[in-house]
Amino acid sequence: MTVRTRFAPSPTGYLHIGGARTALYCWLESRHRGGEFILRIEDTDRERSTDAAVQAILDGMRWLDLGHDEGPYYQTLRMERYRQVAEDLVRAGKAYYAYETKEELEAMRSQQMAANVKPRYNGAYRDRAEPLRDDPNRVIRFKNPTAGSVVFNDKVKGRIEWSNEELDDLVIFRSDGFPTYNFAVVVDDIDMKITDVIRGDDHVNNTPRQINIYNALGAAAPAFAHLPMILGPDGQKLSKRHGAVSVMQYRDDGFLPHAVLNYLVRLGWSHGDQEIFSRREMIDLFDVADVNVSAARFDVEKLSWLNQQYLKNDDPAELVPHFLWHLDAAGYDVASGPAPADVIVALRDRARTLKEMAEKAAVWYGPIREWDDAAVAKHLKSATAVPALKAVHARLAAVAEWNVENVHKAIEAAAAAIGEGMGKVAQPLRVAMTGTQVSPSIDHTVFLAGQSRAVARVEEALKRIGE
RNA sequence: GCUCCCUUCGUCUAGUGGCCCAGGACACCGCCCUCUCAAGGCGGGAACACGAGUUCGAACCUCGUAGGGAGCGCCA
């Protein structure tokens, strides 16, 4: 049987980091086992579902490059199917119509809460064989078994047993003609031949009742794997305040999609001491059964470190499109400056994100906007600054082929000419190039400026000193 | 309240009865390298929630306690 997993978000917001990890694990499990990955949009909550959210989820999946083999299916397009299955269940005596008002149910609940018992529907209509009648409160409830227990072997949590006495007759079909979540998922997962349900562990509580529905429908239950949740840095549930932001926010913040994936795959799963995983390795090594049972905190520091690992080790050419996105976002005139790939090489040891890299690249895509007074005072006003700059000016102007090596030689020669070490030339030059005393290695810093701009900036600096 | 789940360095984790007075990674600190800042190299501090039990032997098995989380909807 072909392994089929599915990611089934409800479109009530963007794709957040937790959803992204669930999607990743579903995707990996299907890829690892040579199966298929299905995307399903659970949009039966008409109040909260929006088209914009559907689009946001699709965008997030595309950015992460988690392609699906089927779908997206939309539950709202399957309404007839749910109705039909629910009515079949009533006809088979496995479900029944009930007519309580929401107020009556609410009263029942609060009474039970007050009596310190778990609130459950009392099954008033269960055996009444109430005829079908028009009523604004008419719902269909599932006849949950009253005895025995449901046992399932969760692939991450292990064996879980649930007494049927804890369960009540849940509504499977609402009075407004929409199916409820617990019913629609089961119908969908059966129809879509899902073999492995991988989802957040906030669903373990739903699993026993869903298994009962599978049984009533005469279908075999799939394998279940419930993923622990991702917590914020403070150990609290992820909220908008600290990280439950859209995965697209991570793009905006300068992270590479693969770094995010790598971070996510290691959050709750591991393969020995390995930290870096290529897509291929993830697919080959991942097994949902190896996922950890407990919740993990989200740590941007480690994500940043991983991101820099990719910045440092990936082929710069492959990073260019991502970097261009940030250069554009920063509003630079890219054509006026150095080749982005060269900038990446110069900055990849110094930036953890593409955004940071773009910020540091500003001096090569436009004029120096700000002069650091301390830098000027220390390195431009020093005794050796003027001779150093003059010496390097002549040699830079004379470079025949403008590349990092030749720039380096020119600077070395200038230092030798005035009988000083590299530092005495590099620091004033650095300030002349950037207005600051911090930048990549001096040869790259000068090279990236381009020959005419580099020479002009040395002249500008000399003028600034008053020479 | 009830039911279910969870608990190894600050964080992510390795560990499935002896290889563990617990290993790796991020972060932190120190040293080295050095044209600045990084990156890199080397080194350091830092954890088995607690208590019983089983066993020759327990981070690993059992029970209890404490702490944390989730669910208990005509939301998903």
Q: What is the ipTM of this complex?
A: 0.94
Q: Residue A295 burial by CB count (10 A; 0-12/13-18/19+): exposed, middle or buried? A: middle
> Is residue A370 scored above 90 in pLDDT?
no
What does the pLDDT read at residue A242? 60
Tell me the pLDDT band of A129, cut-offs 50, 70 and 90: confident
A158-182 average pLDDT score? 93
Distance of C1' in B65 from CA in A294, Å: 20
Q: Which two tokens stand for residue A321?
A: 């499109």
pLDDT the model gives residue A464: 84
How many Å from the CA of A168 to C1' of B41?
A: 63
Average pLDDT over residues A409-427: 91
The question of whether A155 is a catalytic residue gets the answer: no
- Model confidence at A1, pLDDT cuts 50, 70, 90, reads confident
Strand B closer than 7 A to residue A109 Cβ: yes
Scan for tokens 């965008």, then name that residue: A59
Answer yes or no: is A41 CB < 7 A from strand B: no
Contact A458, A429 (CB under 8 A): yes
Phi, psi (rounded to 5 degrees) for A237: -55, 140
- A390 sits within 7 Å of strand B by its CB: no
Confidence band (pLDDT; 50, 70, 90) for A345? very high
Q: Give the residue nearest to nucleotide B4 (CA to C1').
A: A205
Average pLDDT, chain A: 93
pLDDT, position A279 = 96
**3-class DSSP assignment, residue A236:** coil
* In chain A, where the domains are located: 1-232, 314-365, 373-466
Nucleic strand B contact set for A 285-304 (CB, < 7 Å): 290, 292-297, 299, 301-302, 304
Binding-site members of A for ATP are: 240
Strand partners, A417: none
Question: What is the CATH code for A1-232?
Answer: 3.40.50.620
Count CA atoms closer than 13 A to A384's CA, side-chain side. Answer: 18
A279 by Cβ neighbours in 10 Å (0-12 / 13-18 / 19+) ranks as middle
Give the distance, in angstroms, between residue A75 CA and nucleotide B3 C1': 30
Nucleotide nearest A135, CA–C1', reads B74
* Residue with CA nearest C1' of nucleotide B6: A294
Respond yes or no on whether the N-terminal peptide bond of residue A136 is cis (omega within 30° of 0).
Answer: no
Residue A240's pLDDT is 61
Looking at residue A243, its pLDDT comes to 56
> First and final CA of chain A: distance in angstroms?
81
Name beta bridge partners: A223: A196
A90 contacts A125 by C-beta, under 8 angstroms: no
Give percent above pLDDT 70 in chain A.
Answer: 99
A24 has pLDDT over 90: yes
Closest listed residue to residue A28, CA positions, set A8, A11, A3: A3
Any idea which nucleotide's C1' is nearest the CA of A161? B4
The separation, in Å, between residue A308 CA and nucleotide B59 C1' comes to 34
Q: Is residue A204 within 8 Å of residue A226, measured between CB atoms?
A: yes
For the CA of A268 and the C1' of B74, the distance in angstroms is: 36
User: Does strand B come within 7 Å of the CB of A439?
Assistant: yes
Quick: pLDDT tens for A385-413: 889 999 999 999 999 999 999 999 999 99
Tell if A54 CB is < 7 Å from nucleic strand B.
Answer: no
**What is the model's pTM?**
0.93
Query: A77 φ, ψ to 5°?
Result: -90, 0
SS3 A278: coil
**Residues ≥6 apart with Cβ < 8 Å to A388:** A414, A415, A418, A420, A424, A425, A428, A429
Residue A99 has pLDDT above 60, yes or no: yes
Asked if pLDDT for residue A134 goes beyond 70, the answer is yes
Q: How far is the CA of A68 from the C1' of B16 (A)?
A: 35
Asked whether residue A440, judged by its CB, lies under 7 Å from any atom of the DNA or RNA strand B, the reply is yes
pLDDT band at A446 (very low <50, low <70, confident <90, very high): very high
Q: Nearest nucleotide to A136 by CA–C1' distance?
A: B74
Give me the architecture of the A373-466 domain, per CATH: Orthogonal Bundle (1.10)
CA of A269 to C1' of B15 (A): 14
Q: Is the CB of A114 under 7 A from strand B?
A: no
Is A409 near strand B, with its CB below 7 A from some atom of it?
no
Nucleotides of B under 7 A from a protein CB: 1-8, 10-15, 23-27, 34-39, 68-76
- Mean pLDDT along residues A131-152: 91
Q: What is the mean pLDDT of residues A353-365?
A: 96
**What average pLDDT does this structure show over A242-250?**
80
Q: Is the CB of A177 under 7 A from strand B?
A: no
The segment with the largest mean pLDDT, out of A107-121, A135-149, A308-322, is: A308-322
pLDDT of A430 strictly over 80: yes
Which pLDDT value is given to residue A238? Answer: 77
With b for 16 or more beta-carbon neighbours within 10 A and e for fewer, the A226-256 pattern comes to bbbbbbbeeeeebeeeebbbbbeebbebbbb
Question: Which of the following is catalytic: A240, A302, A312, A409?
Answer: A240
Nucleotide in closest CA–C1' contact with A226? B5
| Strand B close to A180 by CB, under 7 A | yes
- A455 confidence band (pLDDT: 50, 70, 90): very high
Nearest to A29 by CA among A2, A5, A65: A5
Q: Taking Cα atoms as reference points, which of A39, A36, A38 lies closest to residue A3?
A: A36
What is the pLDDT confidence band of residue A244, given thresholds at 50, 70 and 90?
low
Give Cα A261 to chain centroid, integer Å.
Answer: 7
